[in-house]
Amino acid sequence: MPSPAAPPAAPIVYVLNGPNLNLLGTREPEIYGHDTLDDIAGQLEDRARELGLEIDMRQSNHEGHLVDWLHEAQAQDAKAVIINAGAFTHTSIAVHDAIKSIRTPVIEVHLSNPHAREKFRHTSFVGRAARGTIAGFGALSYRLALEAAARI
């Protein structure tokens, strides 16, 4: 008897995190909250399962990793990319260009609201290239971005 066909793989959403986000939970909790990146990954995995999606959560303190992962998302036919580029948001033309270079929809996310903070956070090179931005809702920003990823 032929073995039953494997169920089709769920569409993947890459969730990319930039510098210092590995310290979430202890890093300036009054701004970024008490959830760790692992806590956020758990919340996203639960919701992704309900939405019929899979998430691939990554973090790096190195700009080039974010560029490589954006390229990889397109090569792997990811449904979308959610990116919190941390401080590279405000500095990185390379991440901006990588987002522009791929057809995969990219959603910018921030825990805090950079527009309500220091002036140097008011420019986002990521936001200029992304499909949309969700910011200011703490860990909930990521879950809202996943809802958007499921619908685009």
Question: Which of 35, 81, 86, 107 touches ligand DQA (CB under 6 A)?
Answer: 86
Quick check: 95 binds ligand DQA (CB under 6 A)? no
Exactly one of 60, 84, 92, 133 binds ligand DQA (CB under 6 A); which one?
Answer: 84
Q: Which range in 36-44, 45-53, 57-65, 80-88 contacts ligand DQA by CB under 6 A? A: 80-88
**Catalytic residue status for 110:** yes
* Contacts by residues 38-45 (CB-CB < 8 Å, ≥ 24 positions apart): 39/139, 40/139, 40/142, 41/15, 43/139, 43/142, 43/143, 44/15, 44/142, 44/143, 44/146
| H-state helical runs in the chain | 29-32, 37-51, 63-75, 93-101, 140-151
Active site residue 142: no
Active site positions, annotated: 32, 110
- Residues lying near ligand DQA in the complex (CB under 6 A): 20, 84, 86-87, 89, 110-112, 114, 121
